Structure 1
Amino acid sequence: MTQELDLDAVVRRRIRGLRLARGWSLDALAARCRLSPSNLSRIETGHRRIALDQLVPIARALGTTLDQLVESADDEDVVIRPLPCDHPGMTVWLLSRERSLHGVTVAKMRITPERPAGPEDLKVHPGREWFTVLSGTARLLLGERTVLVEAGDAAEFSTMTPHALGAHDGPVELLTIFDHDGERSHLHDAPA
Protein backbone atom coordinates (compact mmCIF):
# COMPACT_ATOMS: atom_id res chain seq x y z
CA MET A 1 0.00 0.00 0.00
CA THR A 2 2.82 2.44 0.80
CA GLN A 3 4.39 1.79 -2.59
CA GLU A 4 1.04 2.59 -4.24
CA LEU A 5 0.79 5.87 -2.34
CA ASP A 6 4.38 6.76 -3.25
CA LEU A 7 3.70 6.12 -6.95
CA ASP A 8 0.48 8.13 -6.71
CA ALA A 9 2.44 11.09 -5.30
CA VAL A 10 5.08 10.74 -8.04
CA VAL A 11 2.41 10.76 -10.77
CA ARG A 12 0.84 13.91 -9.27
CA ARG A 13 4.25 15.64 -9.15
CA ARG A 14 4.96 14.62 -12.74
CA ILE A 15 1.67 16.03 -13.97
CA ARG A 16 2.27 19.34 -12.18
CA GLY A 17 5.95 19.45 -13.21
CA LEU A 18 5.20 18.80 -16.88
CA ARG A 19 2.40 21.38 -16.85
CA LEU A 20 4.65 24.03 -15.30
CA ALA A 21 7.57 23.15 -17.62
CA ARG A 22 5.30 23.98 -20.55
CA GLY A 23 4.27 27.22 -18.91
CA TRP A 24 0.62 26.16 -18.79
CA SER A 25 -1.92 27.22 -16.22
CA LEU A 26 -4.39 24.74 -14.73
CA ASP A 27 -6.99 26.18 -17.10
CA ALA A 28 -4.76 25.58 -20.16
CA LEU A 29 -4.05 21.93 -19.32
CA ALA A 30 -7.65 21.31 -18.24
CA ALA A 31 -8.90 22.56 -21.62
CA ARG A 32 -6.42 20.32 -23.48
CA CYS A 33 -7.50 17.16 -21.61
CA ARG A 34 -11.20 18.09 -21.23
CA LEU A 35 -11.24 18.18 -17.42
CA SER A 36 -12.43 21.01 -15.24
CA PRO A 37 -9.63 23.13 -13.74
CA SER A 38 -10.91 22.31 -10.23
CA ASN A 39 -10.74 18.53 -10.92
CA LEU A 40 -7.23 18.90 -12.32
CA SER A 41 -6.19 20.97 -9.29
CA ARG A 42 -7.53 18.30 -6.93
CA ILE A 43 -5.68 15.60 -8.89
CA GLU A 44 -2.39 17.51 -8.67
CA THR A 45 -2.79 18.24 -4.94
CA GLY A 46 -3.95 14.76 -3.93
CA HIS A 47 -7.47 15.78 -2.98
CA ARG A 48 -8.95 13.57 -5.69
CA ARG A 49 -8.17 10.00 -6.63
CA ILE A 50 -6.60 9.65 -10.08
CA ALA A 51 -8.65 7.52 -12.44
CA LEU A 52 -7.20 5.76 -15.49
CA ASP A 53 -9.72 7.43 -17.78
CA GLN A 54 -8.32 10.79 -16.59
CA LEU A 55 -4.63 9.83 -16.89
CA VAL A 56 -4.79 8.92 -20.57
CA PRO A 57 -5.98 12.35 -21.79
CA ILE A 58 -3.68 14.12 -19.29
CA ALA A 59 -0.66 12.17 -20.58
CA ARG A 60 -1.65 12.83 -24.20
CA ALA A 61 -2.13 16.57 -23.52
CA LEU A 62 1.29 16.73 -21.81
CA GLY A 63 2.96 15.04 -24.79
CA THR A 64 3.98 11.92 -22.88
CA THR A 65 2.79 8.35 -22.61
CA LEU A 66 0.81 6.73 -19.85
CA ASP A 67 3.75 4.38 -19.22
CA GLN A 68 6.15 7.29 -18.73
CA LEU A 69 3.70 9.09 -16.48
CA VAL A 70 3.24 6.12 -14.13
CA GLU A 71 6.70 4.47 -14.27
CA SER A 72 8.25 3.66 -10.91
CA ALA A 73 10.39 6.31 -9.26
CA ASP A 74 12.75 3.90 -7.53
CA ASP A 75 16.33 3.50 -8.70
CA GLU A 76 16.02 -0.08 -9.97
CA ASP A 77 15.69 1.09 -13.57
CA VAL A 78 18.88 3.14 -13.24
CA VAL A 79 21.26 1.43 -10.82
CA ILE A 80 22.78 -1.89 -11.82
CA ARG A 81 23.96 -4.06 -8.96
CA PRO A 82 26.19 -6.60 -10.68
CA LEU A 83 26.80 -10.01 -9.18
CA PRO A 84 30.19 -11.67 -9.63
CA CYS A 85 30.39 -14.72 -11.86
CA ASP A 86 33.50 -16.69 -10.91
CA HIS A 87 35.57 -18.89 -13.21
CA PRO A 88 39.05 -20.25 -12.47
CA GLY A 89 41.35 -17.24 -12.64
CA MET A 90 38.61 -14.82 -13.72
CA THR A 91 35.64 -13.00 -12.22
CA VAL A 92 33.12 -11.19 -14.41
CA TRP A 93 30.54 -8.58 -13.40
CA LEU A 94 27.96 -7.78 -16.09
CA LEU A 95 27.37 -4.03 -16.12
CA SER A 96 24.70 -4.04 -18.83
CA ARG A 97 21.13 -4.53 -17.72
CA GLU A 98 20.64 -7.25 -20.31
CA ARG A 99 23.17 -9.15 -22.29
CA SER A 100 23.59 -7.75 -25.79
CA LEU A 101 21.40 -4.74 -25.07
CA HIS A 102 21.75 -2.48 -28.14
CA GLY A 103 24.15 -5.06 -29.54
CA VAL A 104 26.82 -4.70 -26.83
CA THR A 105 27.59 -6.17 -23.42
CA VAL A 106 29.57 -4.14 -20.89
CA ALA A 107 31.47 -6.08 -18.25
CA LYS A 108 34.10 -5.59 -15.59
CA MET A 109 36.63 -8.43 -15.49
CA ARG A 110 39.28 -9.39 -12.96
CA ILE A 111 41.83 -11.81 -14.35
CA THR A 112 44.52 -13.44 -12.22
CA PRO A 113 47.72 -15.14 -13.39
CA GLU A 114 46.06 -18.51 -12.69
CA ARG A 115 44.00 -18.09 -15.87
CA PRO A 116 46.03 -19.37 -18.81
CA ALA A 117 46.37 -17.21 -21.89
CA GLY A 118 48.53 -19.14 -24.29
CA PRO A 119 48.38 -19.92 -28.01
CA GLU A 120 45.92 -22.77 -27.33
CA ASP A 121 43.44 -20.21 -25.86
CA LEU A 122 43.27 -18.00 -28.96
CA LYS A 123 39.73 -17.38 -30.21
CA VAL A 124 38.41 -15.94 -33.46
CA HIS A 125 34.94 -14.53 -34.10
CA PRO A 126 33.38 -11.75 -36.18
CA GLY A 127 33.41 -8.19 -34.82
CA ARG A 128 35.56 -5.89 -32.71
CA GLU A 129 36.39 -5.71 -29.01
CA TRP A 130 37.39 -2.88 -26.75
CA PHE A 131 38.72 -2.80 -23.20
CA THR A 132 40.43 -0.40 -20.84
CA VAL A 133 42.66 -1.47 -17.99
CA LEU A 134 41.52 -0.19 -14.60
CA SER A 135 44.43 -1.67 -12.62
CA GLY A 136 47.34 -3.99 -13.30
CA THR A 137 48.64 -4.94 -16.73
CA ALA A 138 46.77 -7.03 -19.30
CA ARG A 139 48.55 -9.42 -21.64
CA LEU A 140 46.75 -9.42 -24.98
CA LEU A 141 47.74 -12.18 -27.35
CA LEU A 142 46.86 -10.92 -30.80
CA GLY A 143 47.87 -13.34 -33.53
CA GLU A 144 51.64 -13.78 -33.24
CA ARG A 145 52.03 -10.65 -31.08
CA THR A 146 51.90 -10.16 -27.33
CA VAL A 147 50.73 -6.68 -26.39
CA LEU A 148 50.99 -5.41 -22.79
CA VAL A 149 48.23 -2.95 -21.94
CA GLU A 150 48.82 -1.02 -18.71
CA ALA A 151 46.45 0.72 -16.30
CA GLY A 152 44.87 3.75 -17.92
CA ASP A 153 45.41 2.45 -21.45
CA ALA A 154 42.81 0.92 -23.73
CA ALA A 155 42.88 -1.56 -26.60
CA GLU A 156 40.59 -2.03 -29.59
CA PHE A 157 41.04 -4.73 -32.18
CA SER A 158 39.41 -6.86 -34.83
CA THR A 159 38.31 -10.18 -33.39
CA MET A 160 38.97 -11.90 -36.69
CA THR A 161 42.58 -11.92 -35.48
CA PRO A 162 43.12 -14.85 -33.09
CA HIS A 163 43.17 -13.36 -29.59
CA ALA A 164 43.30 -14.19 -25.88
CA LEU A 165 43.52 -12.07 -22.76
CA GLY A 166 45.41 -12.72 -19.55
CA ALA A 167 47.09 -11.04 -16.60
CA HIS A 168 50.74 -9.97 -16.63
CA ASP A 169 52.73 -9.94 -13.35
CA GLY A 170 49.68 -9.99 -11.07
CA PRO A 171 45.92 -9.50 -11.28
CA VAL A 172 44.40 -7.15 -13.85
CA GLU A 173 41.00 -5.45 -13.78
CA LEU A 174 39.39 -4.22 -16.96
CA LEU A 175 36.25 -2.68 -18.29
CA THR A 176 35.29 -4.28 -21.58
CA ILE A 177 32.67 -3.93 -24.28
CA PHE A 178 31.72 -6.98 -26.32
CA ASP A 179 29.50 -7.14 -29.36
CA HIS A 180 27.10 -10.09 -29.58
CA ASP A 181 29.70 -12.49 -30.99
CA GLY A 182 32.35 -11.48 -28.45
CA GLU A 183 29.93 -11.82 -25.56
CA ARG A 184 28.92 -15.29 -26.71
CA SER A 185 32.53 -16.34 -27.30
CA HIS A 186 34.14 -14.94 -24.14
CA LEU A 187 31.41 -14.90 -21.51
CA HIS A 188 29.32 -17.94 -22.45
CA ASP A 189 32.36 -20.08 -23.23
CA ALA A 190 34.38 -18.96 -20.20
CA PRO A 191 36.18 -21.87 -18.57
CA ALA A 192 34.09 -23.41 -15.82
Structure 2
Amino acid sequence: MDHVPGETSPDPATPGVLPDVAPQLRALRRRRGLTLEAAAQRAGLSPAHLSRLETGNRQPSLPMLLALSRIYGTTVSELLGETPPERDPVVRAGRSEPVEADGWIYRQAGGAGRALQCLRVHVPYATRADIVRVHPGEEWIHVLEGRVRLALGEAVHVLDPGDSAHFDSLTPHRIGAATPGGAELLFVHTLMQSPAAELCLGDGTPHRR
Protein backbone atom coordinates (compact mmCIF):
# COMPACT_ATOMS: atom_id res chain seq x y z
CA MET A 1 0.00 0.00 0.00
CA ASP A 2 1.36 3.41 -0.91
CA HIS A 3 2.16 5.86 1.90
CA VAL A 4 0.94 9.44 1.65
CA PRO A 5 3.04 12.01 3.57
CA GLY A 6 1.13 13.48 6.48
CA GLU A 7 -1.31 10.56 6.66
CA THR A 8 -1.23 7.26 8.51
CA SER A 9 -3.34 4.21 8.01
CA PRO A 10 -5.56 3.09 10.88
CA ASP A 11 -3.81 0.55 13.07
CA PRO A 12 -5.94 -2.59 13.21
CA ALA A 13 -4.50 -3.32 16.64
CA THR A 14 -5.81 -0.06 17.99
CA PRO A 15 -9.40 0.33 16.80
CA GLY A 16 -11.08 3.60 17.51
CA VAL A 17 -8.02 5.83 17.06
CA LEU A 18 -9.36 9.37 16.60
CA PRO A 19 -12.92 8.01 16.42
CA ASP A 20 -14.60 11.39 15.91
CA VAL A 21 -12.30 12.95 13.37
CA ALA A 22 -13.82 11.44 10.18
CA PRO A 23 -17.44 12.58 10.72
CA GLN A 24 -16.23 15.88 12.13
CA LEU A 25 -14.12 16.56 9.04
CA ARG A 26 -17.07 15.88 6.77
CA ALA A 27 -19.54 17.88 8.86
CA LEU A 28 -17.24 20.90 9.18
CA ARG A 29 -16.46 20.93 5.46
CA ARG A 30 -20.15 20.90 4.63
CA ARG A 31 -20.85 23.58 7.23
CA ARG A 32 -18.31 25.79 5.48
CA GLY A 33 -20.07 25.14 2.16
CA LEU A 34 -16.95 23.61 0.56
CA THR A 35 -16.98 20.82 -1.97
CA LEU A 36 -14.60 17.92 -1.48
CA GLU A 37 -12.52 19.20 -4.40
CA ALA A 38 -12.31 22.78 -3.10
CA ALA A 39 -11.36 21.74 0.43
CA ALA A 40 -8.77 19.26 -0.85
CA GLN A 41 -7.17 21.91 -3.05
CA ARG A 42 -6.83 24.33 -0.13
CA ALA A 43 -5.31 21.59 2.04
CA GLY A 44 -2.87 20.48 -0.66
CA LEU A 45 -4.50 17.05 -0.95
CA SER A 46 -6.21 15.15 -3.70
CA PRO A 47 -9.98 14.76 -3.35
CA ALA A 48 -9.44 11.00 -2.99
CA HIS A 49 -7.11 11.50 -0.03
CA LEU A 50 -9.53 13.87 1.71
CA SER A 51 -12.36 11.44 1.03
CA ARG A 52 -10.37 8.71 2.77
CA LEU A 53 -9.92 10.97 5.79
CA GLU A 54 -13.65 11.69 5.91
CA THR A 55 -14.56 8.00 5.74
CA GLY A 56 -11.99 6.93 8.32
CA ASN A 57 -9.85 4.96 5.87
CA ARG A 58 -6.90 7.20 6.67
CA GLN A 59 -5.88 8.90 9.90
CA PRO A 60 -4.53 12.47 9.57
CA SER A 61 -1.34 13.58 11.24
CA LEU A 62 -1.32 16.51 13.64
CA PRO A 63 0.08 18.92 10.98
CA MET A 64 -2.77 17.89 8.69
CA LEU A 65 -5.33 18.46 11.46
CA LEU A 66 -3.86 21.91 12.03
CA ALA A 67 -4.12 22.73 8.32
CA LEU A 68 -7.71 21.51 8.06
CA SER A 69 -8.74 23.35 11.22
CA ARG A 70 -7.52 26.61 9.66
CA ILE A 71 -9.39 25.91 6.43
CA TYR A 72 -12.62 25.17 8.30
CA GLY A 73 -12.23 28.07 10.72
CA THR A 74 -12.16 25.89 13.82
CA THR A 75 -9.77 24.22 16.27
CA VAL A 76 -8.10 20.84 16.45
CA SER A 77 -10.16 20.18 19.59
CA GLU A 78 -13.37 20.57 17.62
CA LEU A 79 -12.06 18.36 14.84
CA LEU A 80 -11.43 15.67 17.46
CA GLY A 81 -14.94 16.08 18.79
CA GLU A 82 -13.85 17.49 22.13
CA THR A 83 -16.35 19.72 23.91
CA PRO A 84 -14.71 22.86 25.32
CA PRO A 85 -15.75 23.97 28.80
CA GLU A 86 -18.47 26.59 28.89
CA ARG A 87 -17.02 30.08 29.12
CA ASP A 88 -18.56 32.93 31.02
CA PRO A 89 -18.87 35.78 28.50
CA VAL A 90 -18.97 38.42 31.27
CA VAL A 91 -15.79 39.71 32.93
CA ARG A 92 -16.80 41.38 36.18
CA ALA A 93 -15.02 44.47 37.48
CA GLY A 94 -12.86 43.70 40.46
CA ARG A 95 -12.45 39.99 39.70
CA SER A 96 -9.15 40.43 37.88
CA GLU A 97 -6.20 40.82 40.23
CA PRO A 98 -3.68 43.47 39.14
CA VAL A 99 -0.33 42.18 37.93
CA GLU A 100 2.81 44.32 37.67
CA ALA A 101 5.86 43.92 35.45
CA ASP A 102 8.54 46.57 34.94
CA GLY A 103 6.20 49.28 36.23
CA TRP A 104 3.34 48.33 33.92
CA ILE A 105 0.16 47.28 35.74
CA TYR A 106 -2.43 45.24 33.90
CA ARG A 107 -5.75 43.54 34.52
CA GLN A 108 -7.40 40.93 32.35
CA ALA A 109 -10.39 42.45 30.56
CA GLY A 110 -11.32 39.40 28.50
CA GLY A 111 -11.74 35.66 28.84
CA ALA A 112 -8.80 33.26 29.00
CA GLY A 113 -7.98 31.02 26.05
CA ARG A 114 -9.46 33.32 23.41
CA ALA A 115 -7.90 34.27 20.10
CA LEU A 116 -8.00 37.89 21.28
CA GLN A 117 -6.40 38.83 24.59
CA CYS A 118 -7.89 41.95 26.17
CA LEU A 119 -6.17 43.89 28.94
CA ARG A 120 -6.64 47.11 30.86
CA VAL A 121 -3.17 48.55 31.32
CA HIS A 122 -1.59 51.33 33.35
CA VAL A 123 1.43 52.59 31.43
CA PRO A 124 4.08 54.36 33.52
CA TYR A 125 5.69 57.60 32.41
CA ALA A 126 9.24 56.31 31.99
CA THR A 127 10.65 52.83 32.65
CA ARG A 128 13.15 50.50 31.07
CA ALA A 129 10.17 48.59 29.68
CA ASP A 130 9.62 51.38 27.17
CA ILE A 131 11.47 49.43 24.47
CA VAL A 132 10.92 48.67 20.81
CA ARG A 133 9.04 45.44 20.18
CA VAL A 134 8.44 43.40 17.01
CA HIS A 135 6.33 40.23 16.97
CA PRO A 136 3.61 38.56 14.87
CA GLY A 137 -0.01 39.60 15.26
CA GLU A 138 -2.10 42.73 15.53
CA GLU A 139 -2.60 45.21 18.35
CA TRP A 140 -5.34 47.68 19.18
CA ILE A 141 -5.06 50.28 21.93
CA HIS A 142 -7.62 52.78 23.20
CA VAL A 143 -6.60 55.53 25.61
CA LEU A 144 -8.82 55.95 28.66
CA GLU A 145 -6.82 58.44 30.73
CA GLY A 146 -3.64 60.44 30.23
CA ARG A 147 -1.73 60.64 26.97
CA VAL A 148 0.16 57.87 25.19
CA ARG A 149 3.18 58.15 22.93
CA LEU A 150 3.10 55.47 20.24
CA ALA A 151 6.12 55.01 17.98
CA LEU A 152 5.41 52.97 14.84
CA GLY A 153 8.49 52.53 12.71
CA GLU A 154 9.82 56.04 12.12
CA ALA A 155 6.52 57.77 12.98
CA VAL A 156 5.59 58.97 16.46
CA HIS A 157 1.96 59.54 17.45
CA VAL A 158 0.59 61.12 20.61
CA LEU A 159 -2.83 59.76 21.55
CA ASP A 160 -5.25 61.64 23.77
CA PRO A 161 -8.12 60.14 25.83
CA GLY A 162 -10.64 58.60 23.42
CA ASP A 163 -8.03 58.05 20.68
CA SER A 164 -7.29 54.56 19.36
CA ALA A 165 -4.64 52.89 17.23
CA HIS A 166 -4.79 49.58 15.36
CA PHE A 167 -1.59 48.27 13.80
CA ASP A 168 0.38 45.24 12.61
CA SER A 169 2.76 44.36 15.43
CA LEU A 170 5.44 43.23 12.98
CA THR A 171 5.96 46.99 12.61
CA PRO A 172 8.59 47.99 15.21
CA HIS A 173 6.62 49.75 17.93
CA ARG A 174 7.04 51.35 21.32
CA ILE A 175 4.33 52.42 23.75
CA GLY A 176 4.85 54.82 26.64
CA ALA A 177 2.92 57.38 28.64
CA ALA A 178 3.37 61.01 27.58
CA THR A 179 2.13 62.37 30.91
CA PRO A 180 4.03 62.21 34.24
CA GLY A 181 1.16 60.47 35.99
CA GLY A 182 1.12 57.64 33.46
CA ALA A 183 -1.78 56.59 31.27
CA GLU A 184 -4.62 54.08 31.29
CA LEU A 185 -5.49 52.19 28.14
CA LEU A 186 -7.35 49.21 26.80
CA PHE A 187 -5.05 46.83 24.96
CA VAL A 188 -6.11 44.01 22.63
CA HIS A 189 -3.71 41.66 20.88
CA THR A 190 -3.93 38.44 18.88
CA LEU A 191 -1.09 36.44 20.43
CA MET A 192 -3.00 34.16 22.73
CA GLN A 193 -0.21 31.60 23.08
CA SER A 194 2.26 34.01 24.66
CA PRO A 195 2.07 35.28 28.24
CA ALA A 196 0.67 38.80 28.34
CA ALA A 197 3.59 40.05 30.40
CA GLU A 198 6.06 38.91 27.74
CA LEU A 199 3.99 40.45 24.95
CA CYS A 200 3.54 43.97 26.15
CA LEU A 201 5.08 44.47 29.56
CA GLY A 202 8.78 44.06 28.97
CA ASP A 203 11.16 41.37 30.21
CA GLY A 204 10.51 41.71 33.92
CA THR A 205 8.87 39.00 35.94
CA PRO A 206 5.19 39.81 36.53
CA HIS A 207 3.98 39.66 40.11
CA ARG A 208 0.72 40.14 41.93
CA ARG A 209 0.11 43.40 43.71
Length-normalised TM-score, structure 1: 0.52
Q: Contact 1:126/1:181 (CA < 8 Å) preserved in 2?
A: no
Listed as ranges, the matches of 1:131-142 within 5 Å are: 131-142=141-152
Unaligned runs of 5+ in 2: 1-85
Q: Contact 2:105/2:121 (CA < 8 Å) preserved in 1?
A: yes
Per-residue CA deviation, residues 96-121 of structure 1 (Å, 9 max, x unaligned), is 221x41x1100000011132465xx2
Q: Counterpart in 1 of 2:97?
A: 83
Q: Counterpart in 1 of 2:204?
A: 191
Unaligned runs of 5+ in 1: 1-70
Q: CA RMSD in A?
A: 2.5
Distance change in 2, residues 1:188/1:90 (3 Å): closer
Listed as ranges, the matches of 1:1-192 within 5 Å are: 78-80=90-92, 81-98=95-112, 100-101=113-114, 103-116=115-128, 121-170=131-180, 171-180=182-191, 184=195, 185-187=198-200, 190-192=203-205
Length-normalised TM-score, structure 2: 0.48
1 CA distance for matches of 2:150 and 2:103?
16
1 CA distance for matches of 2:148 and 2:107?
17
Give the aligned length: 114
1 CA distance for matches of 2:190 and 2:158?
23
2 CA distance for matches of 1:166 and 1:135?
13
Per-residue CA deviation, residues 18-40 of structure 1 (Å, 9 max, x unaligned), is xxxxxxxxxxxxxxxxxxxxxxx
Structure with greater Cα Rg: 1
More helix by share: 1
Distance change in 2, residues 1:188/1:122 (3 Å): closer
CA shift for structure 1 position 183: 5.2
Distance change in 2, residues 1:164/1:129 (3 Å): same
Look up the equivalent residue of 1:172 and give its one-letter code.
A
Distance change in 2, residues 1:105/1:126 (3 Å): same
CA shift for structure 1 position 164: 1.4
1 CA distance for matches of 2:122 and 2:201?
16
Distance change in 2, residues 1:176/1:123 (3 Å): same
Structure 1 SS opposite 2:170: coil
Distance change in 2, residues 1:79/1:161 (3 Å): closer
